[in-house]
Structure 1
Amino acid sequence: MALRRRTLIGSALGAALPGGAAGQSNIDWRGIPRLMQGPVLGPCGPDEASIWTRSSGPFATAIEFAPDPGFSGSRRTTPRTARRGEDFVLVHRLEGLQPATTYHYRVLVDGRPNPDDAGHEPFRLTTAPVLPSRFRLAFGSCARRARYPVQPIWRAIEAARPDLFVWAGDAVYADTPEPEILAEEYRRQRDLPEIRRFMATTPQLAIWDDHDYGLNDHDRRHPGKVEALNTFRRYWPNPELGVQNALGAFFRWSYGGVDFFFLDVRFHRDPNDQPDGPSKTMLGAVQRRWLLDGLAASRATFKVLVSGSGWNDSKPEGADSWASYTFERDLILNEITRRGVTGVLLLSGDTHYGELNCLPWSERGGYDLYELVSSPLAQDTVDLYLAARPILRVRQAFSGDVNFGLLDFDLAPPDPTVGLELRDEGGHAVWPPVQLRASELTPGRKTWPQKIDALSRERWNRAQAGRAYY
């Protein structure tokens, strides 16, 4: 009897082991092939698109796509195997697409549709138009998953139906020099149920700021910045970053007749408290030259400069904004004037309150430059602007709620337009939008007196007379 029992135990152990005994078991020793995060839709051009995925192991992964949601006549990308060294992340390139066309897609893991997408697929994407067109961009910054594990604002952003979304820095709050922790924060943010469909169906483009680069207010001295850049590159399906002779998270993208310049304000940044002057830089010489040459060569009606740090002078010198780098900032804006670059718009984040400001470069021979600031998406709001230096605000700073920015471009009219708007968590406009015409963003045009609201005008006049702004 004892012998019989030992035989049964030995048979059971043998069936539980891999190798030859595994053939007698229903266990799949690889686990369930599936996605852990994603899909995330990257930038879409007129004839191509990129999709980011992270799988549960070294499985062959591909994208099946077709104009038909039933996948009649579908095509597939070449299956590629996710690797452990790349955290099982892949970026898939869909090519040979038609412009301004909606496609439906699903992710195939190990040859089968991702099992966890049942009931959610097919996802959709729309390619970019070839000609200048009408489209909507949404953007925001500062999303702190640890403090805000529920982020309802994404429902409002999705309901606004933007054609693309821009992360203007602090997409996660890693606050660590460790690339493994930074990667973990990206994964936690993408696990939010309220963001998943939006990131799968709306093209995402991203820059970083301090909290997704390293530590608070971190600069070029970050000892792990190359590893942080590799993690950033791995987790965002951006266009190619940097240039041959300069690393960084900066790049250029065009959509619908508008050129976007995404700036890296961390990798080459001198310390904030270094005295300002010709040698102090936020961008580094190579990135600054790349920006200015790109602006001069651009034939787009509008050129949008995206910076994680605010462009205005409200913060004191030594603080974490362009106010501590005014020599370099003014050099850039003066070169825009000197080279006759038209149609420049400024976007930024970081501040934890929304803003719409004007840098009155019409007083320096150029034209008034408008800065729309969206912050935060999911983080505490603050009213530090009450103690800030007075600046030319076109709309009053908004700290009543989390927020996101909208830019509505219409390139069809003879004089193209862009509308600037800020919305709260419920999707409601926090103040009346401002509309700009392309002809107003040309040398010699002073437009802010026609754009500013009554309260902002009153407070600006008061500050100009030497009295308190508030």
Structure 2
Amino acid sequence: MIKKLLYAVILFCISFMSFGQDLLQSGPMVGYSTMKEALLWVQTTKAAEVHFVYFDKANPKKRFKTEKYTTEKKYGYVARLIADEISPGKKYTYEVYIDGRKVKRDYPMEFQSQTLWQWRTDPPEVNFAVGSCNYVNEPEFDRPGKPYGSEYEIFQSIHSKRPDFMLWLGDNTYLREIDWNSRTGFLHRYTHTRSLPELQPLLASTHHYAIWDDHDYGPNDSDGSYWLKKTASEVFKLFWGNPNYDVIDKGGITGFFQWADLDFFLLDNRYYRTANNNHTVERQMLGKDQIDWLINTLSSSRAPFKFIAIGSQFISSEAMYENNATYQNERNYVIQKIREAKIEGVVFLDGDRHHTVLSKIQENDRVPPIYDLTCSSLTAGAHASKEESNVYKLEETLVGQHNFGMLKVSGPRKERVLTIQIVDKDGKELWTKNIKANDLKYKRR
């Protein structure tokens, strides 16, 4: 009798501990971080009450709680909660509670607050990952033949580098034919991609920011004529953790964030785009409102490096596929305005092309160079394009296999250096380049 009772108690305990785990669909994920708050994200398998408990790793006895939120089917069972009792420059551990039960994971669940360095010290070293084109196979709905996605261990390699944050450069998920005609389809595809097992440790302890490209916006090569673009915007905002969206109030995902002394400008290359086959009007990818915002915001930035994230390759003389050279007038206009405003330290970050390359444009020695890091692909089919017609490419930086970028900004405030390291799926370096902020400035007479 005692043995049966003990056995029943053990079963109850196991059931109790695993209950919350069974309700966890994907995540948790950490989104944006500031000095005073951070976003915590999680997705449940059905309607459930969710909250987070968090504490300073150096003072684990003082615990804080987020608000409680009940997930709903119409919002993909997603909870986005704010940790708003944090202090600058701290490392925090957090716990997830679903229907009152703590969910356990076998890897760290941590986040950090940004450092208050201004007027006190040099800015801290910043390490962040970049990548694009993440295809997670679902054979039932994929095209027949060889699977398009592979080598998901790349996310474990990114996690092993322990970046401060990751900036996803578009095609972060791949909508299929079954997905892009309904909100239900969007929610299914985003949920399926976000639930990849290899991705979970990276989500749990690295802050995440994102832009989109065509495959997480709509059909292949989709543009501003896409009939569900408002749905695309809604679901994107639901599943990602940027601190702001649609800063130009036009419906897309344009945004901005800061990390230490660095500024990041997140552009939308789909929502405002002229229909691909419409040549009856002045063609645009970004649109004047977004460009005006970009130039105005760049002009006010004091960052040594101003990173402009955009889904399509920007600096290339090779007008191919969907890069910005195919919208040459607009691309040239953006560069012209950057030059007229004497904006320094510009580095474009983009993906899409399923290969990696660093490009550099400098029209003459009176202006500083502008760099463009195209970083692709994470798991989608990669190929070894040579970009034969791109006169701006640095030949030695072409990579035609799955890869990601690790970017480090270090050094004293007035002598910051950007180190770009491209890494393969196993975490091995493929190439590295150093760019000094002072080399991206106008020469003072």
TM-score by length of 2: 0.86
- List structure 1 runs of 4+ shifted beyond 6 angstroms: 30-33
1:137 and 2:128 matched? yes
Q: Larger Cα Rg: Structure 1 or Structure 2? A: 1
- Partner in structure 1 of residue 270 of structure 2: 266
Q: Contact (CA 8 Å) 1:312, 1:391: kept in 2 or not?
A: no
What secondary structure is seen at the aligned counterpart in 1 of 2:347? strand
Q: Contact (CA 8 Å) 1:106, 1:122: kept in 2 or not?
A: no
- Partner in structure 1 of residue 350 of structure 2: 348
1:205-284 aligned at under 5 Å gives the runs: 205-243=209-247, 245-274=249-278, 279-284=282-287
Q: Distance in 1 between the 2:46 and 2:277 partners? A: 46
What secondary structure is seen at the aligned counterpart in 2 of 1:325? helix
Q: Distance in 1 between the 2:109 and 2:319 partners? A: 46
1:308 and 2:297 matched? no
Counterpart amino acid of residue 382 in structure 1: H
- Partner in structure 1 of residue 426 of structure 2: 426
Deviation at 1:329, TM superposition (A): 1.6
Deviation at 1:272, TM superposition (A): 4.0
Q: Contact (CA 8 Å) 1:362, 1:444: kept in 2 or not?
A: no
- Partner in structure 1 of residue 442 of structure 2: 443
Q: Distance in 1 between the 2:296 and 2:413 partners? A: 28
Q: Distance in 2 between the 1:157 and 1:209 partners? A: 21
1:127 and 2:113 matched? yes
- Partner in structure 1 of residue 10 of structure 2: none
Q: Distance in 2 between the 1:288 and 1:269 partners? A: 13
Q: Aligned pairs, how many?
A: 410
Partner deviation per Cα, 1:65-124 (whole Å, 9 max, x = no partner): 01248952211111122122212211110012111211000111112212xxx3526511
- Partner in structure 2 of residue 203 of structure 1: 207
Q: Contact (CA 8 Å) 1:33, 1:57: kept in 2 or not?
A: no
- Partner in structure 1 of residue 299 of structure 2: 296
Q: 1:173 to 1:119 in 2, by over 3 A?
A: closer
Q: 1:344 to 1:171 in 2, by over 3 A?
A: same
- Partner in structure 2 of residue 61 of structure 1: 50
Q: Distance in 1 between the 2:59 and 2:87 partners? A: 18
Counterpart amino acid of residue 56 in structure 1: T
Q: 1:314 to 1:178 in 2, by over 3 A?
A: farther
- Partner in structure 2 of residue 36 of structure 1: 25
Counterpart amino acid of residue 126 in structure 1: Q
1:87-236 aligned at under 5 Å gives the runs: 87-114=76-103, 118-120=104-106, 123-131=109-117, 132-146=123-137, 147-148=148-149, 151-175=152-176, 176-236=180-240
Q: 1:151 to 1:107 in 2, by over 3 A?
A: same
Q: 1:352 to 1:314 in 2, by over 3 A?
A: farther
Q: Distance in 1 between the 2:126 and 2:419 partners? A: 11
Deviation at 1:263, TM superposition (A): 0.6
Counterpart amino acid of residue 249 in structure 1: I
- Partner in structure 2 of residue 409 of structure 1: 409
Q: 1:31 to 1:163 in 2, by over 3 A?
A: closer
Per mean C-alpha deviation after superposition, the further-off stretch among 122-131 and 418-427 is 122-131
TM-score by length of 1: 0.82
Counterpart amino acid of residue 379 in structure 1: A
Deviation at 1:218, TM superposition (A): 0.7
Counterpart amino acid of residue 357 in structure 1: S
Counterpart amino acid of residue 224 in structure 2: R
Q: Distance in 2 between the 1:155 and 1:122 partners? A: 13
Q: Distance in 1 between the 2:357 and 2:376 partners? A: 9
Q: Distance in 2 between the 1:224 and 1:123 partners? A: 35
Counterpart amino acid of residue 408 in structure 2: D
| RMSD after superposition | 2.4
Q: Contact (CA 8 Å) 1:52, 1:89: kept in 2 or not?
A: yes
Partner deviation per Cα, 1:411-437 (whole Å, 9 max, x = no partner): 525311111221111212212x22111
Counterpart amino acid of residue 344 in structure 1: V
Q: Distance in 2 between the 1:307 and 1:215 partners? A: 18
Q: Contact (CA 8 Å) 1:273, 1:324: kept in 2 or not?
A: no
Deviation at 1:149, TM superposition (A): 5.9
